[in-house]
Amino acid sequence: MGKYLELLNREKMPHHVAVIMDGNGRWAQKRGMPRLFGHRQGVETVERVVRACVKLGIAQLTIYAFSTENWKRPQEEVAGLMRLLVEYFDKKTDQLNEEGVRIQVIGDVEALSDLARQSIARAEEKTKNNDRLGLNIAINYGGRAEIVRAVKRIARQVQDGVVAPDDIDDEMISQQLYTKEFADPDLMIRTGGEMRISNFLIWQLSYAELWFTETYWPDFDIETLAQAVYAYQNRDRRFGGLKS
Ligand code: IPE
Ligand code: IPE
Ligand code: MG
């Protein structure tokens, strides 16, 4: 067992971990391989990390798979990523289902192909009664787009006279986000060395503990996850108050 895995306090596990899975392209290029090779390897890491979360008793895992800005990439890479996503849902859903994983996709799926939307719908439907781990996959997700969508929905309710402007509060906005069923993330991990949020869960991460690593996503494993959780367990979460 790894050093950090041994050090973890099982009573203080984060309920919800969010991950920016970054560095697939650089991982592949370092090996003289095309970027898509890195994305393919990244899918293997997802499998590993899902299993690690189940093992560690983490209840929710939200992973950033494709951002609203990732459409800017070359068409070939975008198409390759979409193919990988469909393949993931089609090939892995049965096994994830057996392991008690509930799959949910957050983001604007309307913009995806029919094929992708059908694969997602099948995976969500098949796993909807599972409760061991919630695996939330952010696809065509952007934090700003999510908030714009929430504002429009609330504006419509105001227009219809169902909501008064003064009644709008945190909770009402949270209820219009893709993540309405989930508690806010406790810990956000970004691999690949960049220290930014890149439009991920900008509302929900308000009080998350942030943890960054140089490790590229394809090299991330249960020991790196344990290292992040160990760091989390040693933070003092004050939420604006004073030391407990
Ligand atoms: C994966 O890493 C993130 C996705 C958008 C799928 P990248 O593709 O951003 O890899 P780097 O950052 O270029 O190395
Ligand atoms: C964030 O990574 C998006 C995903 C992991 C899906 P990017 O590689 O797109 O972010 P930037 O461009 O470095 O900010
Ligand atoms: Mg990147």
Each residue of 18-30: pLDDT tens digit? 999 999 999 999 9
Which residue out of 70, 108, 130, 221 is catalytically annotated? 70
Identify the residue whose tokens are 């939420």: 239
- Encode pLDDT of 189-206 as tens digits: 999 999 999 999 999 999
Contact 235, 209 (CB under 8 A): yes
Would you list the domain boundaries of the chain? Answer: 13-142+187-233
Active-site annotation holds for 22: yes
Per the prediction, the chain carries an average pLDDT of 98
**For residue 243, what pLDDT is reported?**
84
Going by alpha carbons, the residue nearest to atom 11 of ligand 2 is 198
Residue 6 has pLDDT above 90, yes or no: yes
CA-wise closest residue to 119 among 135, 103, 140, 130: 103
pLDDT category of residue 116 using cuts at 50, 70 and 90: very high
Specify the ligand 2 atom closest to the Cα of 138. Answer: 6
Identity of residue 169: D
- Encode pLDDT of 31-44 as tens digits: 999 999 999 999 99
Helix H or strand E segment including 30:
helix 24-30
User: How many CB atoms are located within 10 Å of the residue 129 CB?
Assistant: 9
pLDDT category of residue 244 using cuts at 50, 70 and 90: confident
Specify the ligand 2 atom closest to the Cα of 20. Answer: 5
Give me the mean pLDDT over the 101-107 stretch.
98
Active-site annotation holds for 234: no
- Non-local CB neighbours of 111 within 8 Å, separated by 6+ positions: 140
Going by alpha carbons, the residue nearest to atom 1 of ligand 1 is 22
- The Cα 174–Cα 190 span in angstroms is 23
CA-wise closest residue to 42 among 78, 70, 84: 84
Q: Ligand 1: distance of its center to the CA of 38 in Å?
A: 8
User: Ligand 1 test: best mutation among 29, 39, 214, 217, most atoms within 8 Å of CB?
Assistant: 39
Tokens of 27: 């991982």
Question: Is 3.40.1180.10 the CATH number for 13-142+187-233?
Answer: yes
Angle between helices 114-127 and 75-98 in degrees, nearest 10:
20
Label residue 9 exposed, middle or buried (CB < 10 Å: 0-12, 13-18, 19+). Answer: exposed
- Encode pLDDT of 153-192 as tens digits: 999 999 999 999 999 999 999 999 999 999 999 999 999 9
Q: Ligand 2: distance of its center to the CA of 49 in Å?
A: 19
Identity of residue 119: S
Q: What is the CA radius of gyration of the chain?
A: 18
Residues with CB under 6 Å of ligand 1 are 21-26, 39, 70, 81, 192
Q: Ligand 2: distance of its center to the CA of 7 in Å?
A: 31
User: Ligand 1 test: best mutation among 19, 20, 26, most atoms within 8 Å of CB?
Assistant: 26
Question: Contacts from 166-173 at CB under 8 Å and sequence distance 24+?
Answer: 173/147, 173/203
